[in-house]
Amino acid sequence: MANDNRATDSIDRDEDYGLTQALMDRIDAAMEAGDRPALDAALEPMHAADIADLIERLTPARRRAFLTLYADGIDGEILSEIDESIREEVLDQLPQAVVAEAVREMDSDDVVDLVEDLDQPDRDQILAALDAGDRAAVQQSLAYPEYSAGRLMQSEVVTAPEHWTVGQTIDFIRAEEWLPEQFYHVILVDPRRHPTGYVTLGRLLASPREATMRDLAEDSFRTISAQAEEGDVAYLFNQYHLISAPVVDDHDRLVGVITIDDAMTVLDDEHEEDILRLAGVNDESHVSDSALTTARQRLPWLVINLFTASLSAIVITQFEATISTLVALAALMPIVASTGGIAGTQSLAVAVRALATRDLNRSNARRVVMRELGAGLLNGLGLALILGIAGTVIFGDPKLGVVLGMAMIVNQIVAALGGVLVPLGLNKMGLDPALASGTFVTTMTDVMGFFAFLGLATLILI
Amino acid sequence: MANDNRATDSIDRDEDYGLTQALMDRIDAAMEAGDRPALDAALEPMHAADIADLIERLTPARRRAFLTLYADGIDGEILSEIDESIREEVLDQLPQAVVAEAVREMDSDDVVDLVEDLDQPDRDQILAALDAGDRAAVQQSLAYPEYSAGRLMQSEVVTAPEHWTVGQTIDFIRAEEWLPEQFYHVILVDPRRHPTGYVTLGRLLASPREATMRDLAEDSFRTISAQAEEGDVAYLFNQYHLISAPVVDDHDRLVGVITIDDAMTVLDDEHEEDILRLAGVNDESHVSDSALTTARQRLPWLVINLFTASLSAIVITQFEATISTLVALAALMPIVASTGGIAGTQSLAVAVRALATRDLNRSNARRVVMRELGAGLLNGLGLALILGIAGTVIFGDPKLGVVLGMAMIVNQIVAALGGVLVPLGLNKMGLDPALASGTFVTTMTDVMGFFAFLGLATLILI
């Protein structure tokens, strides 16, 4: 059995992984025919995450058909993999009994993730399916702010007193009826439930039964405040190669544990947010969105850009007399502006990324800004040389070459500085540095590009 | 001790984590004075990853001073955390004995990571420090292609035959002299070393000594080919919430294991590559680079942009007669072009991200392209309405409003389609969809924006 699966489970670059076209066709045919056994057969070998992806990719009408046909096949694992963007829709279409059963299977962090964006009545209805202890754990998590470590943690934790032996700990774990689905450490706690260290399961297994837990604890030990932001949690896991980390309340008491797979999901979400926000896209966009939803998500920044682009138009209008004297200027001015736009985007992407990884912070901000200034000046000189010579040769007018070159130097410096100062400024104001930076910076480089070029042309050429 | 650390280890949003300004000042002072004990005291509580960050942030001269003063403090953990960009420089400055000692402490995957970019003589010198078995493991890894699973894996694996009991397995682990630093699973293998399943350490600990390993194996089991690309490995870990996964050779024999912390690093690197490449930055950029290095990394795409921007200039030149008749056109044309640029960037960011997460693939590419077309048309209509009315009111010429509106619709459609078709095309050719897409797409929207606006103006207004 395992041998048979191995070949197909091994990954291959050109495959669509779980969801191959052949499989999609089989599923389509089964849904067309309303043939549940055939659908079961097609979905049986699939991982819950792939089934969730499948549900996300269907059109809303086909999704409804799928959920009707496959309702009781939806379990806790699939439900917790379903993307936020369609989660409410899916929950609404499933019978209550199916949701209740699924929720009972889930770890507390997955239940929190599932219900946190629901209205109070919907949320209460789902929580009612849980037994009292699990419900209390979920409600404790929900009491912490959104996007906090408290929302991310699971309450299910395996703990032991420091003075226990390995043997006692193993016997305790063997006797325990209920254990988290995955755990990698035993957290050591004092009598008041303050975490004092942790022992990896590998270390526990490798040690003799009579060894004391205290002596097996890892050197580096780090707790996370339940109030910490999830982005900071992801950073800590990535920076310190954590596998799981204990979460403590304001009194330093253990309230839960965060595992690396949750941190990896947060890291991935933050990436998505950065790359989309930099481009001026509402970060809730999803591949299954309709054209209308997509248009609506993107319109706000487009409209804002209409206004910021009007600034360029106003600047150019001031130089109409210059342009009508030498119409070639109208053709050349976008070169200065667009090269500035590219430079600004480069500087911006580097700064936003460095802020996200904490490589750029207060201790080196000044040095990085000076570095950008230097790089902008150097590239401005290089580009000015190329463009200046080309302009002189093509138009036979050295003065035009000088104007092009000087405007390029000015705009490259503005671009390099704008690209780093805008995100640093947003960050200082407590805003996401990726938010809208792209529009601000390209507006700066457009306006400055047109102004420097046309202004210098007016002074030198006309 | 653990209690004392807790408060400072708990994270706080406004801190620079390990590297606070106060700590940097202490380190500076110790280096200034050449005071090794003071430096030791400052660095003692720091995690290896933070010390590596510190070394990265120093200027090259200060880095040399630091490495001279602290040479024998550099251990395997710190060395494996040091960023690629300065790794060779650091290795060159450390005494051979320090490097040899550090390398002997490292897991095979970290040694591979350290030496893979070195020249053969430097590489051989470092490998000579390892004992024969470790050296063979590293060389086996190095025989796989760069950026493959084979390079990412560690050879240190804990395995057991399927027929063993829990008791036998635990006794085996206890007796084993040498174990990987971190391990989370026992991999079950058949007599020919084909992996057949895995047992989590949690499950192993929770089960009675007489239980058979075969019966404890997890349902879902997935091997990774040593030839697989590391990006695919990261995707698998993220998609299936894997903690570790066995790596097999072409004959399906177990050759190593990849753990989630390595996959998380790859995911983070891939994201960096995407965000920087989209912006036209050489992906080897680093916060510690000098202005000259930075300028050099960014110049290539700036120069390319000079040429692509010249396309816009050539288009505009064709309409010089039109512009000299109505100079206001020169002021208005950047509005159409720049709004197209924003729309193209939006569509592009969504497509690149969706390709990276496999949300966009062959099974839905057509639908996503149609979605973009629809969204481009809708936003084109919306923006045309705003701009058309504004143009009419401000310039008192309804025909100018019509020209602006029509050009906007055309360019929004070009932007939306270009943003998705360029990365899809690059992907189909086996290239990174993020590579240079930004420059291509904004060139398209600039050229088309100027052409549509000035062309329509020539037809309708002149």
B294/B301 Cα distance (integer angstroms)? 13
Same domain? B350 vs B450: yes
Mean pLDDT of B322-349: 94
Boundary residue ending a domain (A143, A168, A202): A143
Shortest CA distance to A414 belongs to which of A325, A347, A363, A335? A347
Beta-carbon separation of A289 and B339 below 8 A = no
A448 and A315 housed in the same domain: yes
- Please check whether residue A93 lies inside any domain of the structure: yes
Q: Is residue B276 part of a domain?
A: no
Instruction: Give a yes or no: residue A415 inside a domain.
Output: yes
* Burial track A367-379 (b if 16+ CB lie within 10 A, e otherwise): ebbebbebbbbbb
Element (H, E) at B28: helix B21-32
pLDDT at A283: 66
Q: How far is CA B228 from CA A68, A410, B137, in A?
A: 38, 47, 18
What pLDDT band is residue A18 in, cutting at 50, 70 and 90?
Answer: low
Q: Are A181 and A164 in contact (CB under 8 A)?
A: no
> Which three-class secondary structure state does DSSP give residue B77?
helix
Percent of chain A at pLDDT exceeding 90? 63
Domain stop point among A238, A260, A282: A260
Q: Which of A329, A328, A348, A318 is nearest to A445 (CA)?
A: A348
Query: B 116-145 residues with CB below 8 A of A?
Result: none
Please tell me which residue of chain A has the smallest CA distance to B201: A201
Closest CA in chain A for residue B83: A359
Q: Could A348 and B289 be called an inter-chain contact, meaning their C-beta atoms sit closer than 8 Å?
A: no
Closest CA to B126 of B142, B114, B143: B114
Which chain A residues touch B359 with a CB distance below 8 Å? 53, 56, 286-287
Q: How confident is the model at residue B432 (pLDDT cuts 50, 70, 90)?
A: confident
Side-chain-side CA neighbours of A33 within 13 Å: the count stands at 10
* Shared domain check, A188 and A97: no
Residue where the block lists tokens 């992907």: B427
pLDDT score for B221: 84
Asked if residue B189 lies in contact with residue B138, where contact means CB atoms within 8 angstroms, the answer is no
Q: Which residues 6+ apart lie within 8 Å of A155 measured at CB?
A: A108, A137, A140, A141, A255, A256
Q: What's the total number of domains in chain B?
A: 3
Question: Do both B243 and B327 map to the same domain?
Answer: no
Mean confidence (pLDDT) of chain B: 89
Check pLDDT > 80 for residue B457: yes
Q: Which residue of A has its CA nearest to B345?
A: A279
Residue B283: what pLDDT?
65
Indicate whether B361 pLDDT > 50: yes
| Assigned domain for A117 exists | yes
How far CA B379 is from CA of A55, A339, B333, in Å, comes to 28, 26, 18
Q: Is residue A269 part of a domain?
A: no
Structure tokens at A64: 């409804």
| C-beta atoms of B306 and A335 within 8 A | yes
Q: Is residue B325 part of a domain?
A: yes
Q: Give A23's pLDDT tier (boundaries 50, 70, 90).
A: confident
Query: Are A81 and A52 contacting, i.e. CB atoms less than 8 angstroms apart?
Result: yes
Instruction: Please check whether residues A446 and A305 belong to one and the same domain.
Output: yes
Length of chain A in residues, anyone? 462
Helix residue ranges, H only, A319-436: 320-325, 328-356, 365-395, 398-428
Amino acid at B99: V
Q: How many CB pairs under 8 A join A and B?
A: 429
What is residue B258's predicted lDDT score, i.e. its pLDDT?
95
Per the listing, tokens 């680079």 go with B289
* Closest CA of chain B from A395, distance in Å: 12
For A30-59, how does the pLDDT look when each residue is reduced to its tens digit (9 = 90+)? 988 989 999 999 998 888 998 998 898 888
Nearest chain B Cα to A289, which residue?
Answer: B371
Q: What is the Cα–Cα distance from B160 to B459, expressed in whole angstroms?
A: 79
Residues 385-424 of A with CB under 8 A from B: 386-387
Mean pLDDT is highest, among A128-132, A439-443, B372-376, for B372-376
Q: What is the DSSP string of A207-222?
A: S-TTSBHHHH--S---
CATH of the domain at A171: 3.10.580.10
Distance from C-alpha of B416 to C-alpha of B348, rounded to nearest angstrom: 8
Q: Is B185 helix (H, G, I), strand (E, B) or coil?
A: strand
User: Which is nearest to A122 in space by CA: A148, A103, A141, A105?
Assistant: A103
Check: CB of residue B224 under 8 Å from CB of residue A10: yes
Verify that B65 and B136 share a domain, yes or no.
yes
- List Cα–Cα distances, A24 to A19, A46, A50, B33, B371, in angstroms: 7, 12, 11, 68, 20
Q: Are residues B22 and B123 in the same domain?
A: yes
Q: Is the pLDDT of residue B437 over 80?
A: no
pLDDT reading at B86 higher than 90 = no
- Taking the C-alpha atoms of residue A344 and residue A97, their distance in angstroms, rounded to an integer, is 55
Clarify whether residues A357 and A295 are in a common domain.
Answer: yes
Whole-angstrom distance, CA of residue B293 vs CA of residue B286? 10
**pLDDT above 90 covers what percent of chain B?**
64
Residue A161's DSSP bridge partners are: A189
Q: CB of B290 within 8 Å of any CB in chain A? A: yes
User: By mean pLDDT, which of A109-118, B256-265, B276-285 is the weakest?
Assistant: B276-285
pLDDT band at A256 (very low <50, low <70, confident <90, very high): very high
Place B3 in a pLDDT band, splitting at 50, 70 and 90: very low
Q: Report chain B residues whose CB lies below 8 A from the CB of A286.
A: 359
Asked whether residue B230 falls in the same domain as residue B329, the answer is no
Q: How far is A117 from chain B (nearest CA, A)?
A: 22
Whether residue A240 and residue B208 make contact (CB cut-off 8 A), yes or no, is no
Between positions 79 and 118 of B, the ones with CB within 8 A of A are: none
Using only C-alpha atoms, what is the Rg of chain B? 29
CA atoms of B313 and B111, how far apart (whole Å): 52
* Residue of B6, B268, B305 with shortest CB distance to A339: B305
Average of per-residue pLDDT values in chain A:
89
Taking CB atoms and an 8 Å cutoff, what residues of chain B touch A334? 309, 312-313, 316, 334, 337, 446, 450
Interface contact B387-A306, CB threshold 8 A: yes
B118, B216: one domain = no
Of A445, A452, A447, A454, the C-alpha closest to A323 is A454
pLDDT at position A180: 85
Q: Same domain, yes or no, for A166 and A136? A: no
Task: Inspect the interface and report whether the beta carbons of A305 and B261 lie closer than 8 Å.
Answer: no
Which string of DSSP letters, residue by residue, matches A135-160?
HHHHHHHHTSPTTBHHHH-BS---EE
Chain B hits for A19, CB-CB cut-off 8 Å, are: 361, 363
Residue A285 has pLDDT above 90, yes or no: no
Quote the DSSP letter at residue B225: E
Q: Tell me how far CA of residue A160 lies from CA of A168, A170, A186, in angstroms.
A: 9, 10, 7
How does pLDDT run across A167-205, given as a tens digit for each residue? 999 999 999 887 887 889 999 999 999 999 999 999 999
Helix (H, G, I), strand (E, B) or coil at B229: strand
ipTM of the complex: 0.85
Q: Say which CATH number the domain at B20 has.
A: 1.25.60.10
Is the confidence at residue B379, as pLDDT, over 50?
yes
A275–B353 C-beta distance less than 8 A: yes
Identify all chain B residues contacting A78, using CB atoms and an 8 Å cutoff: none
A147 touches chain B (CB under 8 A): no
Residue entry with tokens 């291509």? B440
C-alpha pair distances (Å), B279 with each of A275, A419, B134, B289: 10, 11, 41, 18
Are B334 and B387 in contact by the 8 Å Cβ rule? The answer is no
Distance between CA atoms of A241 and B262, rounded to whole angstroms? 9
Please, how many CA atoms are within 13 Å of residue B33, restricted to the half-sphere of its CB?
10
Spell out which residues of chain A touch residue B184, defining contact as CB-CB under 8 Å.
184, 201-202, 243
What residue in A sits closest to B314 (Cα-Cα)?
A331
Q: Residue B115 above 60 pLDDT?
A: yes
Among A residues 173-212, those touching chain B with beta carbons less than 8 Å apart: 173-174, 176, 179-180, 182-184, 194, 196-197, 200-202, 204-208
Q: B337, B276, B340: which is closest to B312 by C-alpha?
A: B337
Does residue A188 form part of some domain?
Answer: yes
Residue A347 identity (one-letter amino acid): S
CATH of the domain at A349: 1.10.357.20
Strand order of the sheet with strand A195-200?
A: A159-161, A185-189, A195-200
Let me know if residue B153 belongs to a domain.
no
Residue range of the domain that includes A453: 291-460
User: Within the 313-332 window of chain A, which residues sit less than 8 Å (CB to CB) from chain B?
Assistant: 313-314, 316-317, 320, 323-324, 327-328, 330-332
Strand, coil or helix: A304 = helix
Neighbours of B65 (CB within 10 A): 15
% pLDDT > 70, chain A: 95
Q: Are residues A79 and A185 in the same domain?
A: no
Alpha-carbon distance of B353 to B346, in angstroms, equals 11
Cβ within 8 Å, pair B272-A353: yes
Q: Do A349 and B281 touch (CB under 8 A)?
A: yes
User: Average pLDDT, stretch B349-374?
Assistant: 89
A159 min Cα distance to partner chain B (Å): 13
- Chain centre to alpha carbon of residue A100: 30
Enumerate residues 6+ apart whose C-beta is below 8 A from B129.
Answer: B99, B100, B101, B103, B104
User: What would the two tokens of residue A270 be?
Assistant: 């933050």
pLDDT over 80 at A268, yes or no: yes
Say which amino acid occupies A362: R
Q: Which residue of B has its CA nearest to A197?
A: B2
Residue B393: Cβ-neighbour burial (10 angstroms; 0-12, 13-18, 19+): exposed
Cβ-Cβ contacts under 8 Å, A206 against chain B: 173-174, 176, 179
d(CA B56, CA A248) in angstroms, rounded, equals: 32
d(CA B193, CA A145): 49
Tell the residue number behind the tokens 């923006």, with chain if given.
B383
Assess B361–A contact: CB distance below 8 Å, yes or no: yes
Last residue of a domain, one of B143, B168, B200: B143
Contact A363 B21 (CB under 8 A): yes
CA dist B138 and B153 (Å) reads: 10
Cα dihedral A122, A124, A128, A133, rounded to 10, equals 140
Task: Take residue A328 and report the two structure tokens written for it.
Answer: 């070639």
Amino acid at B403: V
